[in-house]
Amino acid sequence: MMKKHIGYVAAVVTLLGACFTASAQRYKNVIDKSIAVVGGEVITLSDLESQVKLDGGYGSSASDKALRCEMLERMMESKLLLNQARIDSLTFNADVVNAELTQRIDMLRTNLG
């Protein structure tokens, strides 16, 4: 069990370096590219940009580069937790997931006007 956690931590630390390459939207001739792979799940540049746009609605004062780095870190953590849940065979309640999704959509609508 401890070796798994060390492996996950090593993966996160290694992939955090990718946040420095995803620091701006000025990507010439790039349609999309993989910026991280966590537990077989790919995080693409367009995924990161979508999350940054969503989070930008909350009035974040962080720099562009710092915001992208933080967002990539959050996305990788989510993928790690999801992967660990699959390994542990954890189940989820679809009603709880739908309620949380509805709450987040309502919050976005409120914040964005």
Inter-CA distances, 85 with 1, 9, 67, 100, 105, Å: 14, 16, 27, 18, 24
For 9: left if phi > 0, alpha if psi spans -120 to 50, otherwise beta; the answer is alpha
Output the pLDDT for position 11.
59
Output the pLDDT for position 59.
58
CB 69 within 8 A of CB 17: no
The partner residues of 43 in beta bridges, in order of sequence, read: 36
Give pLDDT tens digits for 67-96.
Answer: 889 999 999 999 999 888 888 887 778 999
CB 48 within 8 A of CB 35: yes
Q: Which of 49-78 are b and which e, b meaning 16 or more Cβ less than 10 Å from the residue's Cβ?
A: bebbeebeeeeeeeeeeebbbebbbebbee
- Percent of the chain exceeding pLDDT 70 equals 67
pTM above 0.75, yes or no: no
Residue 29 has pLDDT above 80, yes or no: no
Output the pLDDT for position 26.
54
| Domain range list for the chain | 2-112
